[in-house]
Chains A and B, each alone.
Chain A
């Protein structure tokens, strides 16, 4: 009897949380993974984990903050797994498209091609995050990145810890990681320039 009561209270609370927060958690997960099914699974797992470790939540923090922390960890795990998947590694090693990518930006001496040289942007940097149009373009450009670049970028910016730790966890060399970030950044920058500043 006592046991039943113990389970009933968390279940009731969690149901209320699902009502209040599942849409915003789902929107966030979708934003971070760009995959509907993945986002749904991650949110479902988040509430399940919250239910199972309900005792760990003592009402000290905001339930929203707590759920968000669980979800963000799950998003990280997802990107970590995807980054390490064999398919992703194959993509990483196939040299063809990457050379073409660099060749489109740099000449034979690895200097900027004349037409590709970065020009200053007229940016209202302060409030750019409130700019709906900019956020749309940013999302679009993130989605345009190849899978492993996309995951690498998310892993870097979701982590508050130092780069070395991310690489250790991913079991890749730091060199490898910043080289991927380098390509991703070049492409992201180009995409934003083409779409936003046209």
Chain B
């Protein structure tokens, strides 16, 4: 039974890869079916997907303006002087 399952089911490694494919270019209908089936039966992968989407959200948010203002400011006086003298 376990062997049979393995033939039908995608591996966890493949499923975690499809998560990236999904967010980059989307999945084919066949992949969608396999993906959904695996995820509904595998706790580890469905948890992984949630955490992966959480990381996506953070990585996107880090690129928008309000976050820019939250990063720690590192002063660089030499750079400032260098730029001004080069203008």
Closest to B69 in A: A24
A residues 120-147 touching B (CB-CB < 8 Å): 120-121, 123, 125, 128-130, 135, 138
A14 to B83, CA, bound (A): 10
A-B contact pairs, 11 of them (CB 8 A): A19-B80, A27-B71, A40-B79, A48-B87, A105-B13, A110-B12, A125-B54, A135-B70, A182-B19, A189-B48, A189-B52
Are B13 and A106 in touch, CB under 8 angstroms? yes
Are B87 and A14 in touch, CB under 8 angstroms? yes
Are B21 and A68 in touch, CB under 8 angstroms? no
Are A163 and B87 in touch, CB under 8 angstroms? no
Closest 3 CB pairs of A and B: A110-B11, A163-B24, A110-B13
For the side of the interface on A, what is the size category? Answer: 35 or more
With a cutoff of 8 Å between Cβ atoms, the chain B residues found around residue A189 in the complex are: 48, 51-52, 55
With a cutoff of 8 Å between Cβ atoms, the chain B residues found around residue A177 in the complex are: 24
For the side of the interface on B, what is the size category? Answer: 35 or more
With a cutoff of 8 Å between Cβ atoms, the chain A residues found around residue B58 in the complex are: 128-129, 138
A98 contacts partner chain B, Cβ-Cβ < 8 Å: no
From B55, B71, B79, contact of A188 by CB (8 A):
B55
Residues 157-198 of chain A: 1 if any B CB is under 8 Å from the residue's CB, otherwise 0?
A: 110001110000000001001110110011011001000000
B29 contacts partner chain A, Cβ-Cβ < 8 Å: no
A83 contacts partner chain B, Cβ-Cβ < 8 Å: no
A31 contacts partner chain B, Cβ-Cβ < 8 Å: yes
B65 contacts partner chain A, Cβ-Cβ < 8 Å: yes
Closest to B56 in A: A157
With a cutoff of 8 Å between Cβ atoms, the chain A residues found around residue B63 in the complex are: 72, 157-158
Are A23 and B74 in touch, CB under 8 angstroms? yes
Are B48 and A118 in touch, CB under 8 angstroms? yes
From B12, B43, B87, contact of A47 by CB (8 A):
B87
A111 to B13, CA, bound (A): 6
Are A26 and B74 in touch, CB under 8 angstroms? yes
A48 to B20, CA, bound (A): 37
B residues 45-77 touching A (CB-CB < 8 Å): 45, 47-48, 50-52, 54-56, 58-63, 65, 67-76
